[in-house]
């Protein structure tokens, strides 16, 4: 068994225009001051990383590593959540997702997709240059507008959608394989990969590609009423990344999973700071230790109520207290009497 690495923190929700959140150096120093030992970098934040340069220059990648290390943290993984979303966008969402790409690629879905594909390929190469073995992204979605089957879905629609999604991702997965990096899809509402069944459908279409792995985040499963602990039993071999994020689901006589178009504060299901929601993190950390998860425990702070900096400060302590330092010996070793093959046969009555 392996002790999880951490605590780490995903920097996406904290990036900003003001110190200490406006440069990699200062935000790493801020994270270290809170007790974090790792940072996960959102690659669309250009004040933190030049993704193309990190892909093409090992020297620059080493400089990024040095900035983090001097601040007292490691780079845990890179993220292309926004770029991954743009690999597959149904036209109904074009206007809403255009803002995820630079201005010159907006109002041109084909150019936007080509830009996103290049971003993912650079992310694979940058991860290799940084000495990382896992990467976080979204799958994008062609089918999400049909997630509830009304009107009735035409026969074969889902199969066609997943074949096309696989066709778009297979070349990217191959680039990640060439660079020795696992591509970890965050299973998330709004993506075609939003639960275990949809992930399996995708996995089949990419021929069980060894790099088509998972970022585990139990908060999204709380909001779907999905068994997030048994999920680990099913998919632990594919789980290569872990976002530590809390959530709660409190249905009423007026709303449930769909939320009635309410704001996050007023939804039955909402994200919370660590310890303020309903996720059984003791069991989550226990299962990950049991299955020898070798990655990082990384805070993703999202909360409808609590201040972000308070959530970050409390989150470092929460994760540190939940990481299980795995045992190197069995608890009942004190009662061991020793054995060899002859003794074992004697115990079995074979001598």
d(CA 104, CA 67): 31
Instruction: Provide mean pLDDT across the span 40-68.
Output: 98
Percent of the residues in the chain that have a pLDDT greater than 90, as a whole number: 92
- Can you give the pLDDT at residue 3? 95
Q: Taking a C-beta distance cutoff of 8 angstroms, is the pair 31, 21 a contact? A: no
pLDDT single digits (tens) 118-150: 999 999 999 999 999 999 999 999 999 999 999
User: Residues of 263-292 as b/e, b for ≥16 C-beta within 10 angstroms?
Assistant: eeeebbbbbbbbebbebebeebbebbbebe
Residue 339: which pLDDT band, with cuts at 50, 70 and 90? Answer: confident
pLDDT single digits (tens) 70-111: 999 999 999 999 999 999 999 999 999 999 999 999 999 999
Q: Report residue 330 as tokens.
A: 């069995």
List, in sequence order, the alpha helices (H) in the chain: 24-33, 51-56, 58-71, 81-85, 94-97, 109-129, 157-178, 196-205, 219-222, 228-235, 281-290, 308-322, 341-347
DSSP code per residue over 121-139? HHHHHHHHHTT--EEEE--
Q: Which residues pair with 212 in a beta bridge?
A: 183
Between residues 38 and 335, which one has the greater pLDDT?
Answer: 38
pLDDT single digits (tens) 156-209: 999 999 999 999 999 999 999 999 999 999 999 999 999 999 999 999 999 999
| pLDDT surpassing 70 at residue 334 | no
Across 238-314, the runs of DSSP E, i.e. the strands, are: 239-244, 246-249, 269-272, 296-299
Instruction: Provide mean pLDDT across the span 32-37.
Output: 98
- Can you give the pLDDT at residue 328? 81
pLDDT single digits (tens) 274-298: 999 999 999 999 999 999 999 999 9
Instruction: Provide mean pLDDT across the span 252-273.
Output: 97
Percent of the residues in the chain that have a pLDDT greater than 70, as a whole number: 99
Residue 338: which pLDDT band, with cuts at 50, 70 and 90? Answer: confident
Rg (CA), the chain: 22
d(CA 220, CA 239): 15
What residue ranges do the domains of the chain occupy? 5-347
CATH of domain 5-347: 3.20.20.150
């Amino acid at each position: 068994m392996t002790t999880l690495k951490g605590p780490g923190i995903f920097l996406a929700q904290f990036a900003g225009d003001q110190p200490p959140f406006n440069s990699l150096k200062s935000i790493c120093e801020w994270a270290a001051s809170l007790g974090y030992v790792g940072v996960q970098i959102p690659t669309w934040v250009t004040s933190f990383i030049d993704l193309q340069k990190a892909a093409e220059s090992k020297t620059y990648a080493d400089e990024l590593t040095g900035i983090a290390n001097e601040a007292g943290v490691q780079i845990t993984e890179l993220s292309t959540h926004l770029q991954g979303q743009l690999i597959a966008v149904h036209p109904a969402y074009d206007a809403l997702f255009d803002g995820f790409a630079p201005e010159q690629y907006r109002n041109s879905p084909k150019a936007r997709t080509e830009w996103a594909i290049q971003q993912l390929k650079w992310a694979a190469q940058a991860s290799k240059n940084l000495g990382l073995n896992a990467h976080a992204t979204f799958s994008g979605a062609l089918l999400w507008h049909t997630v509830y089957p009304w009107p009735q879905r035409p026969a074969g629609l889902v199969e066609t959608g997943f074949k096309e999604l696989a066709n778009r991702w297979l070349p990217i997965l191959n680039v990640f394989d060439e660079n020795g990096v696992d591509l970890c899809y965050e299973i998330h509402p709004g993506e075609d990969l939003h639960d275990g069944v949809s992930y399996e459908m995708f996995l089949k279409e990419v021929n069980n590609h060894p790099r088509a792995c998972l970022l585990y985040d139990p908060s999204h499963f709380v909001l779907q009423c999905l068994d997030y602990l048994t999920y680990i039993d099913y998919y632990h071999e594919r789980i290569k990344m872990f976002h530590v994020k809390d959530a709660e689901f409190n249905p009423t006589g007026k709303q449930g999973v769909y939320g009635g178009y309410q704001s996050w504060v007023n939804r039955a299901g909402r994200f919370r700071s660590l310890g303020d929601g309903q996720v059984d993190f003791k069991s989550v950390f226990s299962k990950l230790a049991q299955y020898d998860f070798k990655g990082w425990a990384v805070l993703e702070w999202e909360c409808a109520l609590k201040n972000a900096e308070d959530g970050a400060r409390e989150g470092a302590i929460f994760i540190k207290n939940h990481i299980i330092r795995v045992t190197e010996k069995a608890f009942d070793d004190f009662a061991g009497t020793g054995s060899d093959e002859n003794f074992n046969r004697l115990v079995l009555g074979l001598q």
